[in-house]
Amino acid sequence: MNDESVLLQLAVRIAGLSLVAVGGGNALIPALHDEAVSTLHWVSEARFVEAVGLSQAAPGPNMLLIPLIAWQTAGVAGATVALVAFLLPSSTIAILGSRFLARHERSPLVAAFKWALRPVTGGLMVSSAVVLIETAARTWPEPAKFVPGLVTLLAVGVAVASVRSKLNPLVWLAAAALIGVLV
């Protein structure tokens, strides 16, 4: 394929992913894997796993995995195309949806809809956290019997500490990194 057709393919496929990406960046990983590795062969399995690790460990929203994969496929032009293709559809929908709800603020149906969103948000956050714990246990070098227990303990400890204090969350991430280096 020539460069332009790769960029076009990235734009079309990633805009499509943007429209089904409910639940945030991490929820998107399986669908992205299907497209990028299995179907369209943008990157190898090894590069994909490396990109997932990097996008988790690096700062910023986890959706940066998408421009990162596109960068591996087609350089800076690919990353730029991927970023715009992913952000434009979903951000437009978010803005229009938010304006619609603000306009009909007094409707009891809107109140019921807003009420219904919150428990689902909380539930999805918990399930994403569980997926992250699994990821941490899997990516720990030299997996040992104590690793699943250790990462769970780390997560629960950070949760309790974070609820009870107003410190910047980075404090807890840094403490965890230190534990990771020392163990």
Partner 1 sequence: MLGLARLGLLGFGGVGPQAYHAFVTRSAWLSIDDFAEGYSLAQALPGANVVNLCAIMGDRWFGPVGAVAAVCAITVPPLVIVLVAAAAIAHVTRAPRFVAAESAIVAASAGLLFATAYRVFSTIVRRRALGLVIAGAVALAVGLHAVSMPVATLVGVAAGFGIDVFTRARP
Q: Which is nearer to partner 1, 41 or 169 (CB)?
A: 169
49 is a site residue for partner 1 (CB under 8 A): no
Q: Which is nearer to partner 1, 1 or 120 (CB)?
A: 120
Query: Half-sphere exposure of 88 toward its Cβ, with a 13 Å CA cutoff?
Result: 11
Count of residues near partner 1 by CB under 8 A: 100
Site for partner 1 in 52-91 (CB under 8 A): 53-64, 67-68, 71-72, 76, 79, 83, 86-87, 89-91
* Shortest separation between residue 182's beta carbon and partner 1, angstroms: 9
Site for partner 1 in 108-167 (CB under 8 A): 108-109, 112-133, 135-137, 139-142, 150-152, 154-159, 161-163, 166
* Shortest separation between residue 62's beta carbon and partner 1, angstroms: 5
Q: Which of 164, 162, 157, 135 is nearest to 147 (CA)?
A: 135
CA 38/CA 40 separation, integer angstroms: 6
CA 124/CA 116 separation, integer angstroms: 13
State which of residues 1, 93, 103, 104 lies at the interface with partner 1 (CB under 8 A). Answer: 93
12: tokens are: 């079309």
Residue count (the chain): 183
> Residue 73's CB: how many other CB atoms inside 10 A?
20
* Shortest separation between residue 166's beta carbon and partner 1, angstroms: 5
Q: Which of 88, 35, 86, 93 is nearest to 64 (CA)?
A: 86
9 is a site residue for partner 1 (CB under 8 A): no
